[in-house]
Amino acid sequence: MSIQNYSIIESTLREGEQFVNAFFSIEEKIQIATLLDAFGVEYLELTSPLASPQSAKDCTTIARLGLNARILTHTRCNLEDAKRAVDCGVDGVDVVIGTSSFLREFSHGMSIEQILDLAQEVVAYLLSQNVETRFSTEDSLRSDFADILEIYKAVDALGVHRVGVADTVGVGTPRQIYEIVSTLRQNIGCDIEFHGHNDSGCAIANAYAALEAGATHIDTSILGIGERNGITPLGGLVARLYATDPALVKKYNLPLIRKLDQTVARLVQVDIPFNNYITGFASFTHKAGIHAKAVLNNPSTYEILNPEDFGLTRYVHVAHRLTGWNAVKSRADQLGLILDKEQLKRLAEQIKLMADNGRITLDDVDSYLYEAAERQAAII
């Protein structure tokens, strides 16, 4: 199935708040919410109002900001929580309950029959309050699929807007997620959401597989922050979709990704990883002579993402032993120096030798280039 309409449920302000370093003040939450809204995500998911008195206030405040994004909060599956959520004035409520034997035994102690009754009661209540309603099962992958299907069919029959598949522990593979979501797609009519943790590095691939299988909503957080090592990162999902077809992400304001990543990195006191999707400092750097030559001729040779579409620029690294004369020429061009091919080739050899004898910097390369240009001018 090809990916068509989908929405992002941005959960930096819910799952992201579960990141070990996250302690967002209301001002910071508003800053994040406003930026995400300007980026264009369709939904913002907020921490449950039952988490703490301040969380309840934050929920109400953000619900009243008048953002374009629909505002959701996230609660356990019981009537009291659902009522508190509705009272915050949110557009929708995401309810979740654990269905795996682990969680049934060690968390809430309910049987599948009890969960089924409760799910129907809570979903019916939320629908009666005219809020967008999502029902999801925590640890879906380690739950009995027949149980999940039975519960999802029951809430689908009540008219729930969405059901969610949650890979709570990051154990799923793209094939498994594809299988689960496509089976659900064949059995129920409502929308399908996927929430995937990244413990084994599959969160983006799993989200993508869910979309391929017919999921309509994907949960993300900025930089992927969340419980443990987090969930599908917003930038990573965007990169994955763009690589398939830039049209899939043209609805978003892509240059804001950098600001989003930088803002959240600062607020939770981490560096953006060097190899981060789109915004890592090495994401658009090219080094080896062969790469540099081809990229200078046509960037698509080694770039699946066009940095300009994200408001970024590529960098061709010159000051190292793998350099080539094309990269040296491009640096000379940037400095406005005119050097002939023979000179550029000699300079490339000189840079390689210097690099073999120790670290050299771009400043060193620039001085060689200026000296060579002066010598050339003197000869002419």
Give the nearest residue (CB) to ligand HCA: 168
Per the listing, tokens 């009890």 go with: 114
Specify whether the CB–CB gap between 295 and 286 falls below 8 A. yes
Q: Which does 10 bind (CB under 5 to 8 A by kind): Cu ion, ligand HCA, none?
A: none
Residue closer to ligand HCA by CB (options 69, 103) is 103
Residue closer to Cu ion by CB (options 92, 98) is 98
Q: How far is the CB of 198 from Cu ion (least distance, A)?
A: 10
Q: What are phi and psi of 76, to 5 degrees?
A: -70, 165
Q: How far is the CB of 48 from ligand HCA (least distance, A)?
A: 10
Task: Count the residues of the shown chain that bind Cu ion, applying the rule CB under 5 A.
Answer: 1
Q: Is 108 a catalytic residue?
A: no
Binding site for ligand HCA (CB under 6 A): 15, 18, 74, 94, 96, 136, 138, 164, 166, 168, 195, 197, 227
286, 291, 317, 320: the active-site residue: 291
Q: State the number of CA atoms in the 13 A half-sphere of 208 facing the CB.
A: 19
Locate 131 and state its tokens: 């809020």
The full length of the chain comes to: 380
Q: Which does 164 bind (CB under 5 to 8 A by kind): Cu ion, ligand HCA, none?
A: ligand HCA
Q: How far is the CB of 348 from Cu ion (least distance, A)?
A: 51
Q: How far is the CB of 266 from ligand HCA (least distance, A)?
A: 24
Q: Which does 94 bind (CB under 5 to 8 A by kind): ligand HCA, Cu ion, none?
A: ligand HCA
Residue closer to Cu ion by CB (options 15, 199) is 15
Q: State the number of CA atoms in the 13 A half-sphere of 336 facing the CB.
A: 0
Residues 8 to 67 in contact with Cu ion, rule: CB under 5 A: 15
Residue closer to Cu ion by CB (options 15, 37) is 15
Q: Which does 343 bind (CB under 5 to 8 A by kind): ligand HCA, Cu ion, none?
A: none
Q: How far is the CB of 177 from ligand HCA (least distance, A)?
A: 13
Determine how many CB atoms are found less than 10 A away from the CB of residue 340.
Answer: 11
Residue closer to ligand HCA by CB (options 217, 331) is 217
Alpha-carbon distance of 269 to 262, in angstroms, equals: 10
Specify whether the CB–CB gap between 134 and 161 falls below 8 A. yes
Which residues sit at the interface with Cu ion, rule CB under 5 A? Answer: 15
The residues carrying an active-site annotation are 291
